Structure 1
């Protein structure tokens, strides 16, 4: 039944529009090495040129095709999302539900999550990048940690709500183990809000990657990402004003798609 409700979100107008964009962008990112086997670092003498038929997004300071680099950058962003967001969801939910096993441990974890919540994603990412060094591992770590408070709080709220329900009290009275109650009753009731939050957090993850890469603490050259392209583009905004237009459009489309997808899921699975 839950699966049917989730799939119903993709049949709404927003769900169809969002999933179409995600599938299109994901397909382009996945097929980028096939479409452009020469890679993303091919340099030419035509530097800082505007958009034309051969280079839809123009060229960068080294004559590299910005459209090609945007697709490979999109591939990098999708990789970060696919790794970091599920880690944050699973770990955050597990920490939030820890109170079902041990109340003291659950309380301590919530205080730790409150401390993490006090750090904006950008500040947290800078701190982690300074420790681990700029690059892919720092981005994945920063995004994974930044999402823990949201998922942990939602799981904790579901735990507190469900523990007072009659069927949970009856199960405890009959001697049903805490693990069984957690898996059968509490976790399924937390799944809907966790899933919606996951779609919302993808947007935050995208902007964390972009922000850190723009300040030089994210993906390092010559490897591209949407944030890294914007970082370089801002340096040449006077010589080539269209440099950042292409990567910005791709970034906006990606964020818009996941925002609409989150709205569609929220309206469908959390409908009263």
Structure 2
């Protein structure tokens, strides 16, 4: 009877998927804990923004370019709107972009990279397409998409999505090329294992670690893509706030109110630091394998 409570935790640990356990171990390191805490706080603030600030992000006040105070942490803008409130609402745009576009980009890129398993010609053609995408830096790609689709959230979404395809595609293709001639893969083919099962059971596990880390890194890039395009007026259009839009507006009034740009820039940097710490923790965890 005394063996039951002692063996139960061990059995629970054994039932946990080794890959998942390795990823979760990243968030028990100092970098992972700090990065995850920063990201969760910012996500919670963005999610609860309508509850915390029921007046909305466009509520105007009587005082313009007011300095930081207890009522206005980042001061007010040219219309008397609270810059901190607008920054929190702006987080909703940035987080919605990276949390939707990046995972989808990694998934599509992985499928494209594995196309070579179906046909050598198809794999080569997909690789050439990914090479073309690599030739367009994120901001240049964004400018081209904005010229076609117009400025807005969807153009930013497509820029981050398309820009991340080559990294995941190359990692998946490299995993397939390195594993296709291994003895266990040849043995699986002889035993009649189907191509999809072969990819899911043997190829993907060898590429998943690098793809997960690359996805976390690409989230950081996505934050700066949004900021870069919005600063030049090609992102989300006012009055809808994003951190990049606030930086764009603040640059014009930096002499009157330095906190107009300092506040949103600090949140942007904090978001990038949080995601960067998480990517470092994930990279350290998978390298311990």
Task: Say if 2:255 is the partner of 1:202.
Answer: no
How many Å apart are 1:165 and its aligned residue?
1.6
For 2:66 and 2:280, the matched residues in 1 are separated by 39
- In structure 2, the partner of 1:76 is 93
How many Å apart are 1:44 and its aligned residue?
1.4
How many Å apart are 1:189 and its aligned residue?
1.6
User: For structure 1, which segment, 164-173 or 217-226, has the greater mean C-alpha deviation from structure 2 after superposition?
Assistant: 164-173
- In structure 2, the partner of 1:33 is 50
Q: What pairs with 1:79-228 in structure 2 (closer than 5 Å)?
A: 79-228=96-245
For 1:23 and 1:11, the matched residues in 2 are separated by 15
- In structure 1, the partner of 2:26 is 9
SS in 2 for 1:10: helix
The Cα offsets for residues 200-240 of structure 1, whole Å up to 9 and x where unpaired, read as: 00000000000010010101000000000000000111111
For 1:105 and 1:205, the matched residues in 2 are separated by 29
- In structure 2, the partner of 1:265 is 282
Partner of residue 247 from structure 1, selected from 255, 260, 264 = 264
How many Å apart are 1:193 and its aligned residue?
0.7
Q: Is the 8 A contact 1:55 1:66 kept in 2?
A: yes
SS in 1 for 2:28: coil
Give the aligned CA root-mean-square deviation in angstroms: 0.9
State TM-score, norm by structure 1. Answer: 0.98
State TM-score, norm by structure 2. Answer: 0.92
Q: Is the 8 A contact 1:50 1:243 kept in 2?
A: no
The Cα offsets for residues 138-179 of structure 1, whole Å up to 9 and x where unpaired, read as: 000111000001111111111111112211111112222211
SS in 1 for 2:76: coil
Q: What pairs with 1:23-62 in structure 2 (closer than 5 Å)?
A: 23-62=40-79
User: For structure 1, which segment, 206-215 or 184-193, has the greater mean C-alpha deviation from structure 2 after superposition?
Assistant: 184-193
How many pairs are equivalent?
272
Task: Say if 2:269 is the partner of 1:230.
Answer: no
For 1:183 and 1:103, the matched residues in 2 are separated by 19
Q: Is the 8 A contact 1:89 1:194 kept in 2?
A: yes
For 1:220 and 1:184, the matched residues in 2 are separated by 45
Q: Is the 8 A contact 1:92 1:148 kept in 2?
A: yes
Q: Is the 8 A contact 1:22 1:257 kept in 2?
A: yes
How many Å apart are 1:97 and its aligned residue?
0.7
The Cα offsets for residues 39-60 of structure 1, whole Å up to 9 and x where unpaired, read as: 1000112111111111000111
How many Å apart are 1:196 and its aligned residue?
0.5
Q: Is the 8 A contact 1:48 1:58 kept in 2?
A: yes
Q: Is the 8 A contact 1:92 1:151 kept in 2?
A: yes
Q: Is the 8 A contact 1:193 1:270 kept in 2?
A: no
- In structure 1, the partner of 2:4 is none
- In structure 2, the partner of 1:256 is 273
For 1:184 and 1:101, the matched residues in 2 are separated by 16
